[in-house]
Structure 1
C-alpha cells in the first residue's frame, strides 16, 4: 500500500505501474532529483491537487 509519506522515487521504483497515474496528475518529471525525494503528500500540494485523491488512484493502480 502506498502512503502519503512515501517518497515519489520509492513509489515509482517499487510500483512502476504508478507512472501513468502520476503523469495523469500533471507530474511529468518523475526522475528529477526534487521529485524523487519528495513525499506523495508534498508533491500533491506543490502541484495543487488533493493528496487523498492521488493516493486512491495510486493504490488502485497497484491492485491491477
Structure 2
C-alpha cells in the first residue's frame, strides 16, 4: 500500500488519492484549489496553516489504510 509522506506535494496527494480530499478539508487544509498547493509540500502547507505536519500525516495515512482495505 502506498503511504503519504510529508515531502509529497499537496497537488500530488490530491491527484493520486482523491479519496483523501475530504480528510484534508476536515483537518483544515482548505487550500486545495489554490495554485500554491500544487507546488507546496504537505509539511510546508501544514506550517502555513498552523497544523502539526506529523498529526496530519498520521490522519491521512490512517484514512488511506481504511479505504484500501
Match of 2:61 in 1: 59
Matches of 1:49 and 1:26, distance apart in 2: 8
What TM-score results when the alignment is normalised by the length of structure 1? 0.91
Q: Which consecutive segments of 4 or more residues in structure 1 shift more than 3 A? A: none
What TM-score results when the alignment is normalised by the length of structure 2? 0.85
Structure 1, unaligned stretches of length 5 or more? none
Q: Between Structure 1 and Structure 2, how many residues are aligned?
A: 64
Structure 2, unaligned stretches of length 5 or more? none
RMSD across aligned positions (CA): 1.0
Matches of 1:35 and 1:25, distance apart in 2: 15
